A and B are shown apart, each in its own frame.
Chain A
Amino acid sequence: MPLSPAEVQRIARLARIELSEAELAQALIQLNGIFDLIAEMQAVDTEGTEPMSHAQDLVLRLRPDGVAQADQRAEFQAIAPAVENGLYLVPKVIE
């Protein structure tokens, strides 16, 4: 079932990526090509198969609830696009 332009537009909106008309048209063709490739997997019988989310069966570790890292705020803020008084600046969202 091929994707429609409206669906591609919706995905782009969810992914927060602006697409021009030309990019949308190209994305439509290429995504449909990719989903044709993916379709082959649908015919496989996976009844009773456990999904495999990771290569190893791991149990997430816990660590003591203590300070684990030194303060690096200044270093991290030094590479931010816009900061003021220790805060990251973005366009106003509440008037």
Chain B
Amino acid sequence: MHNATLAELSQALRAHRVSSVELTRLFLERAQRLNGALNAFITLDPERSLAQAAAADRRIAAGQAGALTGIPIAHKDIFCCKGWLTSCGSRMLSNFVAPYDAHVVERLHQAGLVTLGKTNMDEFAMGSSTETSFYGPARNPWDSAAVPGGSSGGSACAVAARLAPAATGTDTGGSIRQPAAHCGISGLKPTYGLVSRYGMVAFASSLDQGGPMAKSAADLAWLLGAMAGFDARDSTSLERPAQDYARELEAPLKGRRIGLPKEYFGAGLETDVRRAVEAAVDQYRALGCEVVDISLPNTRLCIPVYYVLAPAEASSNLARYDGVRYGFRAPEYADLEEMYVKTRAQGFGAEVKRRILVGTYVLSHGYYDAYYLKAQKVRRLIAQDFARAFERCDLILGPTAPSVAFDLGAKSDDPVQMYLSDIYTVSVNLAGLPGLSIPCGFGAGGRPVGLQMVGNYFQEARMLNAAHQYQLATDWHVRMPPGVE
């Protein structure tokens, strides 16, 4: 049962072969048993989860159930869940019990999904390894010496180890796709604006986007339909008609044009990852796709631009943590000024402080034009690269990350090396495009490799179709980490 697809779980629930309470108990039991070793969850609250499950069972009994009613889902600890600790992986919010639900949580709750727990993450989503979490790093279920990726590392770990059938994540520079790749699961970052940011703790508002993480593309399609939707409380939420993202899953891929950006296969890409990604491209050829070479000439500028814009927006967003209205306050201080500086010194971890300092500098008087404005201009050049590429192809394929999951501690003292692991993912956020990662093989140490797919704006259904057809022809996505039966 813990390895079933969402469609199978939905059928079992509706046919009364299993109740939501039984299903929730099963995943809670797995999570409680394995969390000590994996640290995928920051918070489990069985009583609350089971109460939601019982309510879902009543809906099913009353014939008021939707397709997803009764299915448990884990939420990244960045999403406010009313009555749940919502720490965002930070000491700063280590006492913050959210007084309201995020729009995504509200929507999934309305659809009848059961909150299974809150997953571990890099502090304020700033990281690529889940090592910056105040609650300690999560582990990669494929190899406990490896990071699960980040920032949504706890969500990826929980799905990979079958502690949850699905999870939510957020992606500012690759934080859904990269951990999905490293843990051998599927993850989707939607077009910017499709999923409301309301109640999602803000990092870099022009880049942040929530999305689903699950075992397969078909599961992602089911979840995206439940997560996406207009919300007046998010000023960048898009007003678009609701759609069924699973509608095109079965369409044949014959004649689809796939673009391979030469910049994504150059120096810096590890051989094992290249081999798996090239084999996946061959699989797409076998499915009838036409493969064309494309160029995204400004790829090398993505990291510099991202590490100006994201810290700038973060320094502004994180100015709200002052120890006055909620969250952590330093225990000792002489005056108001000291209360602020000590609260922020003690409440934030090293990486968050580093990014706030970078952001403060690039926005400060005399440097704004040289850094922030310059980065915004180069951001447009990067977006234009994609616009030109999509004149020649329907989908872009490449690696999600330049290597398989690295060892814990390998990059934690070197921020620049850590930043470079986002090289293939950040450009998608800068352009606001949808991107997904699906498993496409294994590399060094038996660690999973992720295939990244980028589509044009609002092409999620076609991307999920292409990912699903690949998953019908391959079995990478159903492989399980050793020890997970």
Give chain A's interface residues, CB within 8 Å of chain B. Answer: 3, 7-8, 11-12, 14-19, 27, 30-31, 33-42, 44, 46, 49-56, 58, 60-61, 63, 72, 75-76, 78-82, 88, 90-93
Cβ–Cβ contact B329 & A41, under 8 A: no
Cβ–Cβ contact B380 & A50, under 8 A: yes
What residues on A are CB-neighbors of B334 within 8 Å? Answer: 91
Residue of B nearest to A74 (CB): B99
Cβ–Cβ contact B304 & A41, under 8 A: yes
Per-position binary interface string of chain B over residues 441-476, scored 1 when its CB falls under 8 Å from any chain A CB and 0 otherwise: 000000000000000000000000000000000000
Cβ–Cβ contact A90 & B307, under 8 A: no
Given contacts A17-B348, A31-B358, A79-B96, contact A55 B307 (CB under 8 A): no
Tell me, yes or no, whether B323 is within 8 Å of chain A by CB.
yes
Cβ–Cβ contact A38 & B308, under 8 A: yes
Question: Nearest-CB distance from A40 to chain B (Å)?
Answer: 5
Cβ–Cβ contact A12 & B357, under 8 A: yes
In this complex, the interface size class of chain B, counting residues with CB under 8 Å from chain A, is: 35 or more
What residues on B are CB-neighbors of A41 within 8 Å? Answer: 301, 304-305, 308, 374-375, 378
Per-position binary interface string of chain B over residues 337-358, scored 1 when its CB falls under 8 Å from any chain A CB and 0 otherwise: 1011110110010000110111
Residue of A nearest to B98 (CB): A79
Question: Nearest-CB distance from B166 to chain A (Å)?
Answer: 26
Cβ–Cβ contact B324 & A81, under 8 A: yes
Interface pairs (12), CB distance under 8 Å: A7-B361, A31-B361, A34-B416, A37-B304, A38-B304, A38-B308, A41-B305, A46-B374, A55-B207, A81-B323, A81-B324, A91-B339
Cβ–Cβ contact B236 & A15, under 8 A: no
What residues on A are CB-neighbors of B353 within 8 Å? Answer: 17, 27
Per-position binary interface string of chain B over residues 310-349, scored 1 when its CB falls under 8 Å from any chain A CB and 0 otherwise: 0000010000001111111100011111011110110010
Question: Nearest-CB distance from A30 to chain B (Å)?
Answer: 6
Residue of B nearest to A19 (CB): B345
Cβ–Cβ contact A90 & B339, under 8 A: yes
Tell me, yes or no, whether B232 is within 8 Å of chain A by CB.
yes
What residues on A are CB-neighbors of B326 within 8 Å? Answer: 76, 79-81
Beyond contacts A3-B361, A8-B357: 17 other A-B pairs, Cβ-Cβ < 8 A, are A14-B360, A18-B345, A33-B415, A37-B419, A38-B371, A41-B304, A41-B308, A42-B370, A55-B433, A56-B193, A58-B236, A61-B232, A61-B235, A72-B100, A78-B99, A81-B327, A93-B336
Q: Give complex CA distance A12, B149 in Å.
A: 29
Q: Give complex CA distance A19, B383 in Å.
A: 38
Tell me, yes or no, whether B435 is within 8 Å of chain A by CB.
no
Q: Give complex CA distance A33, B325 in Å.
A: 35
Given contacts A49-B380, A90-B336, contact A18 B341 (CB under 8 A): yes
Cβ–Cβ contact B371 & A90, under 8 A: no
Cβ–Cβ contact A31 & B344, under 8 A: no
Cβ–Cβ contact B99 & A79, under 8 A: yes
Question: Nearest-CB distance from A26 to chain B (Å)?
Answer: 8
Q: Give complex CA distance A33, B374 in Å.
A: 19
Residue of A nearest to B304 (CB): A41
